[in-house]
Structure 1
Amino acid sequence: MMRRVLPWITAAALLGGCGSGGNSPAVDPLDGLRQQAGDALARYDQAFRAAGGAPFVPVGELTRQLGDWEPANGSYKESLSAGRVEAAATLPEAPKSAGTIVWANGTRHEVPMISADGALAQLRAAGTGDCSGCAPLKLAGARLTTMTVPTTRGPATAPAWEYTLDRTAVRLARVAVDPSAIVRVTPPPPDADHPHEGLAIESATTTTAGSELTLTFTGAPGPASKPCGADYGAEAVETDQAVVVIVIEYRHAKDEACPDVGAQRSTTVELSQPLGERAVLEVTQGLPVALTIAG
């Protein structure tokens, strides 16, 4: 079931009330964003069901670089970005078939694990593949460890493979969870005729029992009372699995010539019920954002 929270609908309706003719019906400028939100929720629901309703929804990349490249190894950055990483020795199997995800509040979830070789294959697949002529990184070995991963339920500790590399002190870490147990959302392909609109939120904060979400995003540096400034509200489109947040902008004036300078801004939205274990998604591509649970 889809629910909407419309805390700023009066202002939005006023913005959409200027038709080309006196009897033209008002067109709400948020309708397109609401459609994007509905599409994003449908994609998330599909990914959620494909993962068997798994609660592990990581945000961002699942590979981490540990340490900095030495000056002589600067080209290795391109190799890693392209996924050009090869094993120079036999890599170990997982010592057990299942591992445990642990969240900051003590919640635990058992997940199937993959071998060091399987995690390496995932690392390669995440690369761009675009690295003409760059030398591949050579893995010297691997050990099972853990790493902290931002998720839609706050930071979580997950099993991970840590790889050592030839000719550098840099190490690589990759989550050791089987992809079948990870909710991964695929954004829609680019569409020049129907570009994705809206402001993408970057993170969200809530409390354990509260229904208010505080959202951070990049916006105008100043308030709407100043030239080139803006105020912000928000609307949430909700299902039982996720929430998509639409940020609503109220600019100082239309068509101002303003410098291309952004600042971190925030706003809040009231949900119809506490967030619980639902994911928070940004509206432009429907990707999950990191959540902080404060208290």
Structure 2
Amino acid sequence: MRSIRLRRPLVALALLAIGAVGATACGTETPAQVGSDDRERAERARRVSEAWEGSEAAKAWQEGYFPLDDPIRLPEDAFHNNADKLAYQTRNIELRGKLPDSSAKKGKIRWRAGGALTVSIDSAQTSYEGLAQGKATRAALVITGARLGERTLLTSRGPATVPAWYFTLKGYDTPLVRVAVAGPAKPPKSPIKSLKLPSDVLWPLGGLVSVSKDGRRVTVRAQHGACDDGPVVDVRETASSVVLSGWIRGRSDGPCTKDLLAKEVTVKLDRPVGERPLVDAYTGGPVPYKN
């Protein structure tokens, strides 16, 4: 097999320890092995969900601010052309105008179901710098101003109204909106230890992509190798948590590269996720949102 080429450092050390993706993804699965793996996955998911029930982690999740949504909302008519789309993807954004000097240092997050939390908010300049991470060129998107407002964001406690900066984009009728909250709280410490190495049974998930408006479809990034049929994500739902178990289907014999790949996988829930934490069965902790 060829030398290892990793695309995600999350499991680099683990892959080296087990012979990398190619070695893990190669080999013939027998019915006995598959059944044993299924039972082991189900048992791990059960232990994870039981560890979260009534835990300090669950309490912190239900009392804190943990976004499950993209902090950036694009203009309604984005994008006018491929050049603008590429400029956004590469964060090639230029400021041509004056940003307001907001005196507000604190703001409130208000949940639709009740409750509020006072948080620090970013200045317009800080939020702009969070957007414009590329080197501005002639093909840049142009910001000409900004105003402080609010937007609705899906969080660990359901929909919430969150302070946000509305940036005016040259040539666009609607603004580019970025959440102004200085950052989510550190995720609660898992009440159960993470597994040590990826295996045929479980792989760590690569992050949360989105939750549908009705809360019943969850999309995550699941990891797999170059010589298999792709990743699978199983779901265990309880009244207090949703445990997601990522694994790899269809490993085959023969030479293959050792690329670590990622694919978006959508799972359907029996009922809306609500305030239940989305938990990775491998790590035992919440699946972090990654845009």
TM-score range for the pair, normalised by the shorter chain length: 0.5 to 0.7
1:118 — aligned with what? 126
Secondary structure of 1:29 counterpart? helix
Secondary structure of 1:267 counterpart? coil
Alpha-carbon shift at residue 124 of structure 1 (Å): 3.4
> Do residues 88 (structure 1) and 96 (structure 2) align?
yes
Distance 1:136 1:153, change over 3 A: same
1:67 — aligned with what? 76
1:157 — aligned with what? 161
Secondary structure of 1:163 counterpart? strand
Q: What is the TM-score with the length of structure 2 in the denominator?
A: 0.53
> 1-side partners of 2:101 and 2:122: how far apart?
8
> 2-side partners of 1:247 and 1:196: how far apart?
8
> 1-side partners of 2:269 and 2:122: how far apart?
39
Alpha-carbon shift at residue 145 of structure 1 (Å): 0.6
2:113 — aligned with what? 105
Alpha-carbon shift at residue 277 of structure 1 (Å): 5.8
Gaps of 5+ in 2: 1-29, 189-193, 220-232, 248-264
> Do residues 281 (structure 1) and 279 (structure 2) align?
yes
Secondary structure of 2:270 counterpart? strand
Alpha-carbon shift at residue 93 of structure 1 (Å): 2.5
2:176 — aligned with what? 172
Alpha-carbon shift at residue 236 of structure 1 (Å): 5.6
Secondary structure of 2:158 counterpart? coil
Matches within 5 A, 1:1-295: 18=32, 28-30=39-41, 34=45, 55-69=64-78, 71=80, 73-125=81-133, 135-179=139-183, 181-183=184-186, 196=203, 203=211, 216=217, 234-235=235-236, 243-246=241-244, 265-267=268-270, 279-281=277-279, 283=281, 286-288=286-288
Is the CA contact (8 Å cut-off) linking 1:137 and 1:166 kept in structure 2? yes
Distance 1:217 1:137, change over 3 A: closer
Q: What is the TM-score with the length of structure 1 in the denominator?
A: 0.53
Cα-Cα RMSD:
5.2
Alpha-carbon shift at residue 165 of structure 1 (Å): 1.7
Is the CA contact (8 Å cut-off) linking 2:235 and 2:267 kept in structure 1? no
The residue type equivalent to 1:79 in the other structure is A
Is the CA contact (8 Å cut-off) linking 1:37 and 1:244 kept in structure 2? no
> 2-side partners of 1:197 and 1:36: how far apart?
16
Secondary structure of 1:164 counterpart? strand
What fraction of aligned residue pairs are identical, expressed as a percent?
22
The residue type equivalent to 1:62 in the other structure is P
Distance 1:266 1:135, change over 3 A: same
The residue type equivalent to 2:287 in the other structure is L
Is the CA contact (8 Å cut-off) linking 2:143 and 2:170 kept in structure 1? yes
> 2-side partners of 1:118 and 1:36: how far apart?
42
Number of aligned residue pairs: 213
Secondary structure of 1:147 counterpart? strand
Is the CA contact (8 Å cut-off) linking 1:101 and 1:156 kept in structure 2? yes
